[in-house]
Structure 1
């Protein structure tokens, strides 16, 4: 059965309010939740970027939801320290925490002052980090010298079960590559033919586990308001790679966003005041073969969205 999750966007909402929101989402009937892990927002209009790992501990402790995040080891996060973070949450909340390990974006990683590598080197660095983290979660003492360096690192808290290490992918090629190590797949909403090819590439390459999708959406009581929210909040998030990988500051994203119209935003965000239309869109993602749908309402006031979808959308999808 398809499960429906809530996405907590740290770039857009303060961690204190997001904790209230995820608790609200649980009461409204959402099955699970996920969150972002950024050092800075995509736009100065977003205006937030709390520390994900502190928030995750509070969210797991004050709900019964399974939670996960998309995170990038290798530059801002040393893989051994990352393994300790993952293991601690996994040990405290058995079976309820997962992490998707990606190669990162310059907007978060440039803060170290280190050179931002090209895409292939970032992918190789990620794969080294995945190997280090996985071996440490299995209880090994790890020494590694490559694009990252680890010296005799061992975890003293071993989680049981081991938290799932999920592979994020937005193309068929990246889906096939993460299939070699991932315990599951997560992607974002894209055209149906792209998603179909992406899922096929993951499974054909031996990919296992659940297939999840994060769906950016905008809903309000009127179409004009739904469009206004989407354009205000998400016009800086419509750029494809390498622009979204390599741009370093919210101010730069804002400058590019000045030239983005509503039609471009509609290609990245499901926009409608009609809850039935949203139900149909979500059902289409389930029909493509996605097990878990994480809903990201791109506005900053989450309460009306949580209430409306909890009452009118989630029950019909469960049925």
Structure 2
């Protein structure tokens, strides 16, 4: 059976509210949760961005299911710091934590004042960061002088076994590059043909572990309401790479999607009023080759969504998958 998880959106809810939402997601019947690690929201109307690592400790302590995080080591975070954070959470909550690593977006990384590297250099930095993190989780003392500089680092409090470390990819090229470097692939919903290329590229290059899909959706009583939620809260979904990697302020995203095209927005966010129909749309994407799917309702009223997920959406999705 496909794992159905809940995406906790730090960009849209205060951390305390999001903590209540993730415990509500467990009660509603979701199998697990995930979140992103951002310094800024994607748009001003979203209005939040709590510190994911503090929240993760509270969320794991308040639930019994697994929770993962998407992180970009190498600029805003030194990989030694991330290795220590990963080790601590996995030691405290064995078998329940996992991480996804990507090359990052300028919006979160520019604050260091360092130049924003090209995609190729960011990938090379990510590769070095992954190697450093794995060695530290394995108990090594690490010294390195490359794109990532490390001096005699050790992580003293380690779990019995390291958690899964997945890689984030939107393009087939990045998915292929990640194969052999990570313990699984995570991506976000897009056109089915593009998603199929991402999965095929990863698997075709020998990529192992789970393939994880995040789906943005807007479920409401009327189509007008559902579309309005998407337009207000997730127009940034229209900005794909490479532009999304290079903007450094939420206002940049807002300016780029000041008048979002309704048809294109409906491709970025699954807008629906009928839970059964939405479940089938999600299932079509999952059948491309995903082992887990995490649902992100883009509205800020998560209580209302979780009630509907428990009563309608999750049962319909599990019948469909």
Q: TM-score range by the shorter chain?
A: over 0.9
**Aligned residue for 1:129?**
129
**Aligned residue for 2:23?**
23
Q: Indicate conservation of the 8 Å contact 2:280/2:317, yes or no.
A: no
**Aligned residue for 2:204?**
204
Gaps of 5+ in 2: none
SS in 2 for 1:285: helix
Q: Indicate conservation of the 8 Å contact 1:34/1:69, yes or no.
A: yes
Q: How does 1:238-257 map to 2 (within 5 A)?
A: 238-257=238-257
The CA deviation at 1:204 is 1.2
Q: Indicate conservation of the 8 Å contact 1:218/1:226, yes or no.
A: yes
Deviation string 1:217-256 (CA, Å, 9 cap, x unpaired) is 0010111000000011111231121210000111111111
**Aligned residue for 1:176?**
176
Deviation string 1:294-318 (CA, Å, 9 cap, x unpaired) is 0000111111111111111212333
Deviation string 1:124-167 (CA, Å, 9 cap, x unpaired) is 00100000001111111111110110011111112123111101
The CA deviation at 1:286 is 2.6
Q: Which moved more, 1:250-259 or 1:99-108?
A: 250-259
**Aligned residue for 2:65?**
65
The yes-or-no answer on 1:84 pairing with 2:84 is yes
Q: Which moved more, 1:217-226 or 1:195-204?
A: 195-204
How many residue pairs get aligned? The number is 319
Q: Indicate conservation of the 8 Å contact 2:26/2:32, yes or no.
A: yes
- TM (normalized to structure 1)? 0.98
Deviation string 1:160-202 (CA, Å, 9 cap, x unpaired) is 2311110111111111111121101110101111111211111
**Aligned residue for 2:107?**
107
CA distance, structure 2, for counterparts of residue 56 and residue 138 of structure 1: 22
SS in 2 for 1:288: coil
CA distance, structure 2, for counterparts of residue 242 and residue 211 of structure 1: 23
**Aligned residue for 2:154?**
154
CA RMSD of superposed structures (Å): 1.0
The yes-or-no answer on 1:117 pairing with 2:117 is yes
**Aligned residue for 1:233?**
233
CA distance, structure 1, for counterparts of residue 254 and residue 170 of structure 2: 23
CA distance, structure 2, for counterparts of residue 65 and residue 75 of structure 1: 30
Q: Indicate conservation of the 8 Å contact 1:106/1:248, yes or no.
A: yes
Gaps of 5+ in 1: none
SS in 2 for 1:313: helix
CA distance, structure 1, for counterparts of residue 136 and residue 152 of structure 2: 10
CA distance, structure 2, for counterparts of residue 270 and residue 87 of structure 1: 36
SS in 2 for 1:33: strand
**Aligned residue for 2:96?**
96
CA distance, structure 1, for counterparts of residue 191 and residue 254 of structure 2: 25
CA distance, structure 1, for counterparts of residue 197 and residue 312 of structure 2: 31
**Aligned residue for 2:220?**
220
Q: Indicate conservation of the 8 Å contact 1:28/1:310, yes or no.
A: yes
